[in-house]
Structure 1
Amino acid sequence: MKRSIFSLMTVILCLLSISYSYAQKAADEAGFTSLFNGTNLEGWVGNKTSYLAQDGMIVIDPKGTGGGNLYTEKEYGDFILKFEFQLTPGGNNGLGIHAPLEGDAAYVGKEIQILDNTAEKYAELHEYQYHGSVYGVIPAKRGYLKPVGEWNEEEVIVQHPKIKVILNGTTILEGDYLEASKNGTLDGKDHPGLQRHMGHIGFLGHGDVVRFKNIRIKELK
């Protein structure tokens, strides 16, 4: 009898734990809006030839070209962006923020690197070119990507001019891009887009296959 009561209590505790987990997840997602409907690229503009809606993912398959860029139709200011991505060996892409639709988003907007840090061909990159970095401006910590082929979860929090990048639960970048560049950028180039506080969000192709899913955003007041 005691064993039966103990077993029942164990089951109840497990159910309560699962219920709490779902409730917490729902609370964490409150206020978020999906940027991708899972079936087509409605709400996006740019290269819809290299970027495809496929099996609930946005897949860039450049087929020997650079791949170009795919941007949200809407412009965003301060926000929390969550998404998952899957790299292929040597994969290279970028997350454009506060970007106009024309020009190199790394300079006329801001680019957060999406990169296979483990690829041998990238061994000699500058620190500000690795995954999660604000390209040319603020370097990110390395060592938190999952093995190539596995899905990574990323969260980007932007409150101009502050930015935070969380990769698989670890903060790999946190800083103020205007403060970081006040005496010049790390790459020594002009980045007028650092002044922008509004613009499109985009995926920036660099010739490699990369997959994205569960893309959602919460705008901050």
Structure 2
Amino acid sequence: MKIRLLLASLLLSGISLAAPEKLFDGKTLTGWKLKGSDYWTAADGILKGESDDKKQSSILWTEKSYKDFTMEFEFRFSGDIDSGVFLRNENEQIQIGTSRSLKRDMTGSPYIGNKGKYPQEAEGVKDLLKTGEWNKMKIVAKGNTYTVTLNGKQVIEYVSDTAKSEPGPLGLQIHPGVKMKIEFKDLAVEEA
């Protein structure tokens, strides 16, 4: 009886009992589809995107689409990179690394592609970001609001005036024009 009451109260309070969905099995690119150059590999629990001297574009998209979600993952890079996470389409992105247009690190900031700009800059990233080490990022997308947490601290809450309400895939980017390497692990998403 006590267990039933506990479960009922959890359900009524909106707490999910479902475990987050793993986006990466640690060994293969199963569940992902490639757009652009073949720069992505999977091994030993790490999803690696590394461009070559051609410096072409590459996006790794989830095969599944998501509407409202919380995405959590760890990433690591060193040197000059321009990457990010696309949210439902190529026009809404959370940046990881250096902006090609601004020539400075904009990690955690939204890049709105159809407007071609960063409408708001994430705060405190310089003190939180650990170059060459694993960093943990959480992105909550609820409707047109994006909340980003970096290494346990919220760095931005942004309300997009261009976000579409329909579900779409999530994407990991290698920007054209830069030779770079970025690694991801423990990628998971939980639908709201």
TM-score scaled by structure 2?
Answer: 0.78
> Retained in 1: the 8 A contact 2:60–2:173?
yes
What's the % identity of the aligned pairs? 27
RMSD value over aligned CA atoms?
2.5
Q: Provide the rounded CA distance (Å) in 2 between the counterparts of 1:174 and 1:91.
A: 23
Distance 1:46 1:151 in 2: 24
Q: 1:164 to 1:126 in 2, by over 3 A?
A: farther
The structure with the larger Rg is: 1
Q: Residue type matched to 2:108 in 1?
A: G
> Per the alignment, do residues 28 and 171 of structure 1 end up closer, same or farther by CA in structure 2, a change over 3 Å counting?
farther
| Match in the other structure for 1:216 | 188
Q: Is 1:205 the counterpart of 2:174 in the alignment?
A: yes
In structure 2, list runs of 5 or more residues that go unmatched.
1-14, 112-116
Distance 1:165 1:73 in 2: 23
Map residues 110-149 of structure 1 onto 2, 5 A cutoff: 110-115=92-97, 125=102, 130-135=106-111, 136=117, 137-141=119-123, 142-149=125-132
Give the helix-richer structure, 1 or 2: 1
Q: 1:140 to 1:146 in 2, by over 3 A?
A: closer
- Equivalenced residue count is 166
Gap runs ≥5 in structure 1: 1-26, 100-104, 179-191
Cα deviation code 1:39-76 (max 9, x no counterpart) = 00000001472011022111011112224100000010
What's 2:88 paired with? Answer: 98
| Matching of residue 55 in structure 1 with residue 44 in structure 2 | yes
Cross-structure match for 2:59:
69
CA contact (8 A) 2:72 2:137 kept: yes
Q: What is the distance in 2 between the residues matched to 1:55 and 1:67?
A: 25
Amino acid of the residue matched to residue 148 of structure 1? T
How far does residue 143 in structure 1 lie from its aligned partner after superposition? 2.0
Could you report, residue by residue, the CA deviation over 1:136-171 in whole angstroms, capped at 9, with x for unpaired residues? 233211324433110000000010111100000110
Tell me if structure 2 keeps the 8 A contact 1:144–1:170.
no
CA contact (8 A) 1:78 1:197 kept: no
2:97–2:107: 8 Å Cα contact kept in structure 1? yes
Distance 2:132 2:126 in 1: 16
